[in-house]
Amino acid sequence: MPFDRAPQPHPPEEMIPLDDPESGLRGVIVLHSTALGPAAGGCRVWRYENDREAARDALRLAEGMSYKNALAGLPFGGGKAVICQPAGAFDRQALFRAFGRAVASLNGRYVTAEDVGTSVEDMLTVAETTRHVAGLPNKLGAPGGDPSPWTALGVCRAMQVAVRRRLGTDLQGVTVAVQGLGHVGFALCELLHRAGARLIVAEPRAAVAARAAALFGAEVVTSHKLLAAEADVFAPCALGAVLDMAAVKRLRATVVCGAANNQLAMPQQGVDLAARGVLYCPDYVVNAGGIVSVAAEHFGWSLAEARKRVEGIGLRLAEVLDHADGGGMAPNEAADSLAQSLIAGKRPTSLAA
């Protein structure tokens, strides 16, 4: 794969091409940073237009993982694998075994897990050829498996901090607009409902939306209407780049706190939100519960340790927001600057719970 790319402000340590014609494996593993520990980040399978687009996506995602892992206080650097989905039929197991061999060849410098387009079953296949893989079904009483409930818990704790800061209340009676009722969004609704929040939701799968209406009394609207809904908090839990220029103008909520990755179309939108008085909670700070669960599985931490660290996401968000206020920065800028200094200091700082 030719790594023909524009220079990055924070270039990766290494890019490892994936090219196994026998299984059809083609893509790249990016080790963005191993300063704080093995580069950890999931494996994405996607229909990329070409190798260049795949490499660009992997670079962007791997850098994001370095920042997310640093701010989550994990002894992990950042990395990512992307695999170009082969055209036509292919042997999925052969492909993931070949991917596992590539991961194994890095001798623990990269730890993989699920991401968009990959499943627990795929990771079980990867585990046949490498032990540097997480997101496997959990052994009784140990962390592991589907990280979504942990991600939802972290978002909920972050939202409590943000709502307290912006509205001066707890979640009781606060209206939250949740976009996307997938693995994380639905679990988040359950937590918010228990905390007494009122829910407005958007989800294209009508049966899932109806279930949220029945279980949590949620009002169901279209995704377009959700942005302008009369809500205190907007919780994007579906797509990336949902906050573009137009969306920032339409948004009625004064807090944004959700699980989706890369919510801001451009960093500038973080500045625009701040200028409009909207408290934006940086996505990779608040959605780190899933990677904490992966770390717990990889390092053999207990469930109690995993929970303590996920509960600590609220406090880490408060630190980021204080840093933003102190430095006259937007929260997304403050998060990047804190993450960069943690990586430069080569020292993971654990989340206080």
C-alpha angle with apex 163: 271 to 349, nearest 5 degrees?
75
220: enclosing H helix or E strand: strand 219-220
Q: Would you call 80 a catalytic residue per the annotation? A: yes
Query: Smaller CB distance to ligand NAD: residue 33 or 151?
Result: 151
Q: Which stretch binds ligand NAD (CB under 6 A): 44-52, 86-94, 147-155, 210-218?
A: 147-155
Among the candidate windows 47-55, 175-183, 192-200, 334-342, which touches ligand NAD by CB under 6 A? 175-183
Q: List CB contacts of 28: < 8 A, sequence separation 6 or more.
A: 1, 3, 15, 16, 17, 18, 51, 54, 55, 58, 81, 82
Nearest C-alpha neighbor of 238 from the set 230, 247, 246, 167? 247
Is residue 349 a contact point for ligand NAD (CB under 6 A)?
no
Q: Which of 236, 245, 323, 231 is nearest to 287 (CA)?
A: 236
Please tell me whether residue 143 binds ligand NAD under the rule CB under 6 A.
no
Rounded to the nearest whole angstrom, what is the least distance from the CB of residue 32 to ligand NAD in the complex?
17
Question: Look-up: residue for tokens 């102190």?
Answer: 326
Q: How far is the CB of 2 from ligand NAD (least distance, A)?
A: 28
Binds ligand NAD by CB under 6 A, chosen from 112, 179, 254, 332: 179
* Helix, strand, coil % over all residues of the chain, rounded to 5: 45, 15, 40
Give the angle 29-31-32 at the CA atoms, nearest 5°: 130
Q: Is 178 within 8 Å of 189 (Cβ atoms)?
A: yes
- Told to check if 183 binds ligand NAD by CB under 6 A, we report yes
Per-residue x/- track, 241-280, ligand NAD (CB under 6 A): ------------------xxx-------------------
Q: CA-based angle 144:146:152, to the nearest 5?
A: 110
Task: Report the residue closest to ligand NAD, judged by CB.
Answer: 182
Binding mask 191-210 for ligand NAD (x = CB under 6 A): -----------xxxx-----
For residue 148, state whether it binds ligand NAD (rule: CB under 6 A). yes
119 binds ligand NAD (CB under 6 A): no
72 binds ligand NAD (CB under 6 A): no
> What pairing do the DSSP bridges indicate for beta strands 25-33 and 77-84?
antiparallel
Q: Residue numbers of the site for ligand NAD (CB under 6 A)? A: 147-148, 151, 179-185, 202-205, 223, 237-240, 259-261, 287, 290
Catalytic residues: 80
